[in-house]
Amino acid sequence: MKIIKAEVFVTCPDRNFVTLKITTEEGVYGIGDATLNGRELSVASYLQDHLCPQLVGMDASRIEDIWQTFYRGAYWRRGPVTMTAIAAIDMALWDIKGKVAGMPVYDLLGGASREGVMVYCHATGHSIDELLEDYAKHQEMGFKAIRVQAKVPGIASNYGISKSKGAAYEPASKGIRPDVESWSTEKYLNFAPKMFEAVRNKFGFDDHILHDIHHRLTPMEAARLGKSVEDYKLFWMEDPTPAENQEGFRLIRQHTTTPIAVGEVFNSIWDCKQLIEEQLIDYIRSTVTHAGGITHMRRIADFAAMYQVRTGSHGPSDISPIGMAAGLHLDMWVPNFGLQEFMGYSERMLSVFETNWTFENGYMHPSNKPGLGIDFNEEEAKKYPYQPANLPIARLEDGTLWNW
């Protein structure tokens, strides 16, 4: 199974995606997602200039050895660019292995542990009323788990709110410079409990509700929030505080039973070692795309299982449908599965990435097709050249740069 070609494609069907395609001398190909929001070209270059030339001639069946070679062999370990590049290679190789074996990837991992993967969607609003409307819409679509975000009164623009009513939420914006959002912890902490109260009063307690704080609070502020919303029984509060300071989570844990989910920006098991070992979180949100592929995510999940931490993988629209498909295969197998995020994709995106997954009654299934069960249409992709885009930054009301 000698690799004869490793090609990188950058395309922008509404947003930028980076795709790797590996072809073997038998003519079997596999595809992987190498998208890192706002830094797409760095991963494309890392692959194109460094890893792809080395891949040619390697044996595609040796997934583990190739992973180790690119992780240890670079000498410089970890980091989002490196680990996203390795992830794309890993995904493409699992896709090839599945196609050759005639099995879906979840079967190669050990088979399905469940009938379907529960996914959560996003409900947003510029006011609580608008959020409730959007929530009802998603409930009707069948979702059983819904993330709730609303504009905080008095803050010009904050994370998680779509640009106009009813539009899908997309944090990145086109152009050379990032948009600037604002932040006030005081206004947010006053508002957030009222939002959860309105949702529970209107819709009751049957659905899982989730909320993303997006790294904005200090540990003590997060502890205060968690404690003040316990009655609303959140499925999780996400990224309450930046997680470089892992011991900071001890403080949150001492004060609240609101479950915590962290890890969408992590790229290796080392980023969450202490959080998991000390049971400082309940859900690990790392993904196949940004944390070294299926090979490394499987290790993170097994480690987490020892401490009753479950998976809750990141699934925004900036992970390509290939990364989403790979995530769904992992979710089908992983014994300690919690929940999967699914933001969905535009029609234009789905014309480039041909999916076979299904969604029914709040649950997704990756399909039983051999490999990842997803294809990449190179001709369609060519119609949408790369466009510079950036994630926003956040500033406090006095201008201080804050965590976005």
Binding residues vs ligand CS2 (CB under 6 A): 37, 171, 212, 214, 264, 314, 316, 318, 341, 391
CA 373/CA 325 separation, integer angstroms = 7
Residue 8 forms beta bridges with which residues?
20
- Give 33 or 264: the residue with its C-beta nearer to Mg ion: 264
From the list ligand CS2, Mg ion, none, which binds 90 (C-beta under 5 to 8 Å, kind-based)? none
The alpha-carbon radius of gyration of the chain (Å, integer) is: 21
- Give 317 or 355: the residue with its C-beta nearer to ligand CS2: 317
Q: Is residue 386 flagged as an active site residue?
A: no
Burial class (CB in 10 A: 0-12, 13-18, 19+), 9: middle
From the list ligand CS2, Mg ion, none, which binds 134 (C-beta under 5 to 8 Å, kind-based)? none
- Give 214 or 369: the residue with its C-beta nearer to ligand CS2: 214
From the list ligand CS2, Mg ion, none, which binds 341 (C-beta under 5 to 8 Å, kind-based)? ligand CS2
Dmax over CA atoms of the chain, in Å, equals 61
Supply the minimum distance, in Å, between the C-beta of residue 341 and Mg ion: 8
The 10 Å Cβ neighbour count of residue 328 is 29
Supply the minimum distance, in Å, between the C-beta of residue 88 and Mg ion: 21
From the list ligand CS2, Mg ion, none, which binds 290 (C-beta under 5 to 8 Å, kind-based)? none
Supply the minimum distance, in Å, between the C-beta of residue 304 and ligand CS2: 18
**What is the separation of C-alpha 201 from the centre of its chain, rounded to a whole number of angstroms?**
30
Measured over the CA atoms of residue 110, residue 112, residue 113 and residue 117, the dihedral's sign is positive
Supply the minimum distance, in Å, between the C-beta of residue 37 and ligand CS2: 3
- Give 96 or 237: the residue with its C-beta nearer to ligand CS2: 237
CA 260/CA 370 separation, integer angstroms = 35
H/E element holding 398? none
Q: What are phi and psi of 281, to 5 degrees?
A: -135, 165
CA 292/CA 301 separation, integer angstroms = 13
Supply the minimum distance, in Å, between the C-beta of residue 172 and ligand CS2: 7
Residue with the shortest CB distance to Mg ion: 212
Output the six-digit token pair for 229: 């919303």
Nearest to 184 by CA among 214, 216, 213: 216
Interface residues toward Mg ion, by CB under 5 A: 212, 264
From the list ligand CS2, Mg ion, none, which binds 391 (C-beta under 5 to 8 Å, kind-based)? ligand CS2
Supply the minimum distance, in Å, between the C-beta of residue 234 and ligand CS2: 14
- Give 221 or 341: the residue with its C-beta nearer to ligand CS2: 341
From the list Mg ion, ligand CS2, none, which binds 130 (C-beta under 5 to 8 Å, kind-based)? none
- Give 121 or 199: the residue with its C-beta nearer to ligand CS2: 121
From the list ligand CS2, Mg ion, none, which binds 37 (C-beta under 5 to 8 Å, kind-based)? ligand CS2
Which entry of 159, 283, 345, 384 is annotated as an active-site residue? 159
CA 52/CA 39 separation, integer angstroms = 19
CA 404/CA 401 separation, integer angstroms = 9
Residue type, 309: V
In this structure, are residues 174 and 348 in contact, taking their beta carbons and an 8 Å threshold? no
Nearest to 24 by CA among 49, 2, 52: 2
CA 268/CA 240 separation, integer angstroms = 20
Specify the 3-state DSSP secondary structure of 183: strand
Supply the minimum distance, in Å, between the C-beta of residue 171 and ligand CS2: 5
Q: Is residue 211 flagged as an active site residue?
A: no
Nearest to 290 by CA among 88, 120, 95, 117: 88
Which entry of 208, 214, 215, 329 is annotated as an active-site residue? 214
- Give 181 or 264: the residue with its C-beta nearer to ligand CS2: 264
Q: Annotated active-site positions, please?
A: 159, 214
